[in-house]
Amino acid sequence: MKTKIITISCLTALTLVSTSCKKSFLEQVPPNQVEVSTSFRTPNDVLTAVNGIYQSLRSSNNIGENSGLWTDERSDDTGRNDNQSNAGEPFQFGDFSILPSNTYLKSHWVSLYNTISRSNTVLANIDKVTFTDAAVKQQYIAEAKFLRAVMYFELVRTWGDVPLVTVAFSDLDELSANTFREKQAAVYALIVADLKDALNSNLPNLQTGAGIGRASKAAINATLGQVCLTMATTQDQANRQANLNDAKTYLLAAYNMRTFGDLSTIPYADVFDVTKKATCPEIIWQIVNKQGDPTYSSSIAANNQAKGETINSLKPSSGSGGNVTPDLIKDYETNDPRMTFSVKFANDPIVKDYFITKFRDASSGASNLGYGGNDWILIRYADVILMLAEVSNYLGDSAGAISYIDMIRARAGMPSYAVSAANSTYNAKYPNLRLAILHERRVELAFEHHRWFDLLRTFSTDELVNYFKSKSQADFGIAKLANFTTKDRYFPIPFDEYKLNPEKMYQNPGYR
């Protein structure tokens, strides 16, 4: 695989981002500038840099709690009925009318490449440092590669072909010469290679204590399983069987690293309980937040709360909170307690609508400023179990797939799949295992930013268009389902990136 060497010294300034500054200005060296390479002298310097990679995940434009704009709002789970605020740009995502000039789209692209650049900087400079403990060095390399792989997985699923940056540029001429989109196969090859390298390390199976939030072998295995499952369902079908087998292997490895017996031993509400976030054995990987801290707290509980409500946060709300589509509400089965926990109907004189209640911190520690302590869960065991159901079904093991579905349904207190499938209403909506698994993922993992990628795995592009257009427009408010076409399989390349080199940074079909 062909790779390019890139050094990003100003984080986003050289992260494949266009600039209007003159080259002569950019080539000037600030008298107080510290060279990146001279910042790596001791193992602690490397640790600080690795921590910086994790810190970049906290950006509202990255993959954390605020990433619902380009995931859940792109799907059929959430959206917004406001096409005016912020120049209407957020509305474009759920309305399937997104423009390449959308600044939120560009910010997401920049943030992902910023994380990649930080990973690349660690990997490019770590050999300059002398480690007395080789195992520590191996750990830092594994973490950097894992986080780089996660970013590329987000990029390739969102945009398709993307620039493949593996180490670093030192000037803009190098950057310009090497700014071009690589085919998805090359991107996936790097993702798999990085994850396998990270897995072949001394990282713990699961993180505990002060390590919570860092990479683990369970997180790497789960990610590798999802990558292989995605390749099997969306990429070259010649390798479908091999990718499915690999997906099963890695997902089972992650599952077998759990420290609990049956999923039913972990109450659903415990997974999202702020007081149990460091001890809940279902959580595999999370972005850690600090309750009460203006900088490192979570805002998701307060942001999702509707006017007149207090269930999520002590912070008063004047808006509609986390908007939920009627389409999702109708997909919950009767008496599913996950609905009762995850959504609530606001009955305010001004706001009468469902809003998200899955993420709560109405404690005094969060205060009436809404500085919540919710961690953002990136991977948990219910997700792994349901991916195992997907893989088993695709491999022709229906019994195995059903057993995994039943683990999830038993914990929720819902009837088994066999009992439900005999129900005419359930069977009419989910006539096969593929759709039953998709449904179970939807209600189990609602608002955890999986739904859009689940849809991309489950349906071909043409099937996805038909799926959306078969839905009721009334269940989506003012966002127009008629806008959804084959172009919406991918986002447009941000205009500032495309204009760098319209030939090499070619635009995705359907966008101008």
**Domain harbouring 158, CATH code:** 1.25.40.390
* 167, 47: one domain: yes
CA gap 74, 449 in Å, rounded: 10
Distances in whole angstroms, Cα of residue 318 to Cα of each of 344, 369, 370: 16, 14, 13
* 138, 13: one domain: yes
Mean pLDDT over each residue of the chain, to the nearest integer = 92
* Contact indicator for 69, 111 with CB cutoff of 8 Å: no
pLDDT value of position 269: 98
- DSSP at 487: G
* Contact indicator for 338, 368 with CB cutoff of 8 Å: no
With respect to residue 452, please indicate whether it lies within any of the assigned structural domains.
no
* Residue 252 CA from chain centroid, whole number: 21
For residue 354, what is the enclosing H or E element? strand 352-356
Written as six digits, the tokens of 318 are 């004047």
* 3-class state of residue 335 by DSSP: coil
Between residues 53 and 172, the one the model is more confident about: 53
* 3-class state of residue 450 by DSSP: coil
Range of 83's domain?
A: 1-202+476-512
Tens-place pLDDT, residues 31-40 = 344 467 678 9
Tens-place pLDDT, residues 127-152 = 999 999 999 999 999 999 999 999 99
pLDDT value of position 35: 62
DSSP line for 63-124: TSTTGGGGTGGGTTSB--S-SSGGGGTTHHHHHT---TT-HHHHHHHHHHHHHHHHHHHHHH
With respect to residue 299, please indicate whether it lies within any of the assigned structural domains.
yes
pLDDT value of position 175: 77
* Contact indicator for 117, 166 with CB cutoff of 8 Å: no
Q: Phi, psi (5° rounding) for residue 482? A: -65, -20
Number of domains in the chain: 2
Tens-place pLDDT, residues 248-284 = 999 999 999 999 999 999 999 999 999 999 999 999 9
Q: Amino acid letter at 445?
A: L
Tell me: pLDDT of 195 over 90: yes
* Residue 69 CA from chain centroid, whole number: 11
Tens-place pLDDT, residues 305-332 = 999 999 999 999 999 999 999 999 999 9
Closest among 414, 412, 431 to 422, alpha carbons compared: 431
With respect to residue 410, please indicate whether it lies within any of the assigned structural domains.
no
Give the sign of the dihedral formed by CA 229, CA 65, CA 70, CA 14: negative
* 186, 302: one domain: no
Q: Token pair 């191996």 is at which residue?
A: 138
Q: What mean pLDDT do residues 42-46 have?
A: 96
Tell me: pLDDT of 19 over 50: no
With respect to residue 30, please indicate whether it lies within any of the assigned structural domains.
yes
Closest among 150, 182, 146, 145 to 16, alpha carbons compared: 182
Instruction: State the pLDDT confidence band at 177, using cuts at 50, 70 and 90.
Output: confident
Q: Among 332, 359, 374, which residue terminates a domain?
A: 374
Q: Among 374, 407, 436, which residue terminates a domain?
A: 374
Q: Among 345, 374, 403, which residue terminates a domain?
A: 374
For residue 284, what is the enclosing H or E element? strand 283-287
With respect to residue 79, please indicate whether it lies within any of the assigned structural domains.
yes
* 27, 123: one domain: yes
